[in-house]
Chain A
Amino acid sequence: EIVMTQSPATLSVSSGERATLSCRASQSVSSKLAWYQQKPGHPPRLLIYGASTRATGLPARFSGSGSGTEFTLTISSLQSEDFAVYYCQQYSDWPKTFGQGTKVEIK
């Protein structure tokens, strides 16, 4: 099973600042990496797939990068609606494992 490790567990950021979230795979997943956003009481929302392709309608302030085992989600200028938990997921191999999540909170 491919283990996905996200860091940090919690990220405290002020509105308007840049947020950088990391995700590491225990073995190469090529570019088969997705990022999801989840707000309390809501299902996850797909943000990024293929490591860097934004989902339909996603604002350009969200960007994904990386390949192999190291990936990054960057939010260039945090808006109030961006405070949430973010998960990465690999879909290179079964089971499709998720990271443990990074909570982005208001500083």
Chain B
Amino acid sequence: EVQLLESGGGLVQPGGSLRLSCAASGFSFSSYAMAWVRQAPGKGLEWVSVITNSGDSTTSADSLKGRFAISRDNSNNMLFLQMNNLRPEDTAVYYCAKDQPTQMYPYDSGSFDYWGQGTLVTVSS
């Protein structure tokens, strides 16, 4: 059974930093790209960042570049999101999501077939 468990959320002051983690199990973690998606309170879904299966390439939303960094540890089946210089508008539930590629070889990223339960990040003074 695929499981994704986020942690690391909480209350942080504007300008502060936070590191989110996502523990994955039940699938071959190193074979799939992984992503972070966020949802502000009462709002829709916003794609944040993605990392390739090997970790050699990342892409982030233009609005977040320079502040957020995605990374992974394939040895321990972990996904991370380092968030710096946080702003009140970053307040959201952050989900990690497993990529479902349209094809494996060569890898072509697709939809998100499994999601974690999310971790709430609140940026407020």
Contacts and interface: CB of A to CB of B under 8 A. Distances in A.
Interface of A: 1, 32, 34, 36, 38, 42-46, 49-50, 55, 87, 89, 91, 94-101
A94 B110 contact: no
Contacts of B59: 94-95
Given A95-B61, A99-B44, A43 B115 contact: yes
Contact of B111 (A1, A46, A100): A46
B111 A97 contact: no
B116 interface: yes
Interface of A is mostly: loop
A38 B117 CA distance: 12
Nearest to B46: A98
Contacts of A50: 102
Interface size class of B (residues with CB under 8 A): 20 to 34
Contacts of B45: 36, 38, 44, 87, 89, 98, 101
Given A43-B115, A46-B113, A55-B113, A32 B44 contact: no
